[in-house]
Structure 1
Amino acid sequence: MSQPLQATVIPVTPFQQNSTLFWCTATKRGAVVDPGGDLDRIMAAVEQHGVTLEKILVTHGHIDHAGGVAELAETKNLPIEGPQKEDSFWIDQLEEQGQRFGFAGARVFTPDRWLNDGDRVTVGELELSAIHCPGHTPGHIVFYYAPMRLAIVGDVLFQGSIGRTDFPRGDHAALLSSIKDKLWPLGNDVTFIPGHGPLSTFGDERRSNPFVHD
């Protein structure tokens, strides 16, 4: 029996940010999480897997995660959901960030739906939970698909590390609280796709991650 959700990770931008394409296997309707750039590579994956894009999901407003959102939404006529509204100040700086880091075409956008903790996000027949996890940025959202124990966590947590908090409105204590109070209760068996680097599980990080181990 096939899984209800399938996903593929597409590293994009000079920052090698993990943009995630996932789709409902029953309907072949899908979403792109964090299309930070290299939209041709993302669309090649969409075509390769025969997916019909339904929406764009955004974990947070940093350029490597959100730099291609406006262009993809415009060219493919897609709605944008996420992040939480506290990240609007980052999204408002996207053009400035783009010039600073050499991201051509990065533009400001307004999500069709800001997400809050506990909101539900649908893609095809799938329903994911939005979990507000501030710290790396104040409006950071994690997307969680409970039936498959899968979380798309952006820059909250990495294999062996955690998100930086030295950016404007970063908060180290809030980030640790987000991880321990919002993510750990989901279970050690949850696999997560981070914003950079390899996949891991919450259990592995609780055992070995020097920043948040038990």
Structure 2
Amino acid sequence: MEYRKFHTGPLAVNTYLVYDETKEAFIVDPGGFSEKLCELAEEKGLHVGYILLTHGHGDHIGGIEAFRERYPDIQVVANIVEKEFLMNPTKNSSVLINGKPITVKCDRYVEDGETMRIGNMEIRFLLTPGHTPGGQAIVVGNVCFPGDTLFHGSIGRTDFPGGSYEEILKSLHDVLFLLPEDTVVEPGHMDGTTIGFEKRHNPFARM
């Protein structure tokens, strides 16, 4: 499994293109459209079949429509708890962030602990509420894409609609910190880290 990071959308979200030796690929959190991402996919001969969402905030979903136009058979996947959030521009803050209302109807909704296979990659979905009600971490091998639940040295905001400080701390301690310490963390913003580093150095690990 390999992946590349691209900064997309109005808030420079970390958007990831993930693929393996079978040439099957998926996108994580397209905050905006990226021609560079498409060029890389075409250069490597990848079939981009899925968009996997960690959560439904406007800065993470702004590129879905354009990618659907580029790849007509692409399927969008999110947690079932996030379904209403994705369909409500007020809750998903898309007007505030993108300057226009965005709604997303997914092709597939998953539940906590569910897995799916793309190429030879097994993807595991872990519900991590707190930043949004249906936020989820996407785990592939030893890499975790937690969206905005966990950052290098910090956690996501909880003052948006549907946010909960208590829930995000629970997600941190009872879900993400149970992953192996050598798990690579690739968040929705800023630099990557590891679970072990965050358990030892993240100030919210002691709360």
Alignment TM-score, normalising by the size of structure 2: 0.91
| Alignment map for 1:1-150 (pairs within 5 Å) | 5-25=1-21, 27-77=22-72, 78-82=74-78, 84-94=79-89, 97-102=93-98, 107-146=102-141, 149-150=142-143
The CA deviation string for residues 154-200 of structure 1, in whole angstroms up to 9 with x for no partner, is: 00100010010001110111111111111111111111100001110
Distance 1:163 1:176 in 2: 10
| Gap runs ≥5 in structure 2 | none
Alignment TM-score, normalising by the size of structure 1: 0.88
Query: What is the CA-CA distance between 1:41 and the residue it aligns to?
Result: 3.2
2:66 aligned counterpart, secondary structure = helix
- Cα RMSD after superposing both structures: 2.0
Q: Which residue of 1 aligns with 2:189?
A: 196
Distance 1:98 1:136 in 2: 15
Q: Is the 8 A contact 2:9 2:62 kept in 1?
A: no
Which is further off, 133-142 or 69-78? 69-78
Query: What is the CA-CA distance between 1:123 and the residue it aligns to?
Result: 1.3
- Aligned sequence identity (%): 32
What amino acid sits opposite 1:64 in the alignment?
D
Cα separation, partners in 2 of 1:213 and 1:46, compared to 1, 3 Å: farther
1:54 aligned counterpart, secondary structure = strand
Q: Is the 8 A contact 1:135 1:176 kept in 2?
A: yes
Q: How many residue pairs align between the two structures? A: 205
Query: What is the CA-CA distance between 1:98 and the residue it aligns to?
Result: 4.2
Distance 1:51 1:204 in 2: 33
What amino acid sits opposite 1:172 in the alignment?
Y
| Gap runs ≥5 in structure 1 | none
Cα separation, partners in 2 of 1:184 and 1:13, compared to 1, 3 Å: same
